[in-house]
Amino acid sequence: MIYFDYAATTPVDSRVINKMIPYFNKEFGNPSSMYDIGRSNKYAINNARKEIAEAINCYPEEIYFTSCGSESDNLAIKGIAKANKSKGNHIITSKIEHPAVLETCKSLEKEGFEVTYLDVDENGFINIDELEKSIKNNTILISIMYANNEIGTIEPISEIGKIAKKRNIIFHTDSVQAIGNLRIDVKKSNIDSLSMSAHKFYGPKGVGALYVRNGISFKRQQDGGHQEENKRSGTENVPGIVGMGYAISLIDSELTNHIEKVKYLRDLYIKLVVNEIADIHINGSLDKRLPGNANISFLGIKGSKMVELLNERGICASSGSACSAGLIKPSSVILNTTSNINIASSALRTTFGKYNTVEDVKFLVENIKDIVKKYR
């Protein structure tokens, strides 16, 4: 198997696995317990909190652990909206957000909140002027993803942050795809809240985190115990949290080399496809995109069919978001960038990671060429 779907999930780094193992059996205490084996787990959780805080330049007490990026998005958007409803009920987001954001906003609309869904251009960028024009006196929250999970477009986060700060509006960003692929500084970018998920940066599945700046009010979304400063009830997933903290510290220390490698592989892939395969369309920006992301439409063959045929040859790729891969329909993200349904339905997303090689990329392109020749 050759894997080109790092945007869906990443394999857990072996160093991370080794760090986690003791917390399954030897260090198994409940972090809420008062005896030593519980306290040592509490210490491990707080150490992971520090590791995550260092990676995005915030304070450890601003990090709250969750089960995944989707829960982090829900907790941030619902929690902030409901806690600040006395100040207004208007939220601004974009039409190409992850379902965890879009469905959360739709849920809030049923509770009386007003949501503006911004259009994007042909490359997936929101328009900053349109964002400013959409702001109302009752706007309390802006939620725009850092980078798109399908087409890799990196949104103008710092510009959005400046506008939000100037207008005294809380700014949340879904950074699930960005963490581990970009250098992020929440203070420099004026980000008030940020979502992440460990399995996107070589950590374990089933654990995520939410950053919320000190002073920002948000309501808990599930009742129970008083874990995570009474903001997220439930016994902590200690092995997962330890793994997440260590994974982000590793990728942060190796980030420059990681970015250079996956960008080189991505650019090589695009170059070979452009030179050797006709009737293609590159989705998203060629400049401001995630370093390991390539989304190309091979016109005349459906993306879902391409994924199926590549799988038969031992190659893993994707035709869209992993969270909606079971839905065989054109990408809604790409349909928001073009009216051409053929482009949207023939898209293939390939995302590169630290275990890919130049030989892998060449093998991928040769197989795509062969499939296109036989089935287009």
Nearest-10 crossing angle of helices 255-276, 238-253 = 70
Distance (Å, rounded) from C-alpha 321 to C-alpha 92? 22
Cβ atoms of 299 and 342 within 8 Å: the answer is yes
Which residue numbers are catalytic?
Answer: 323
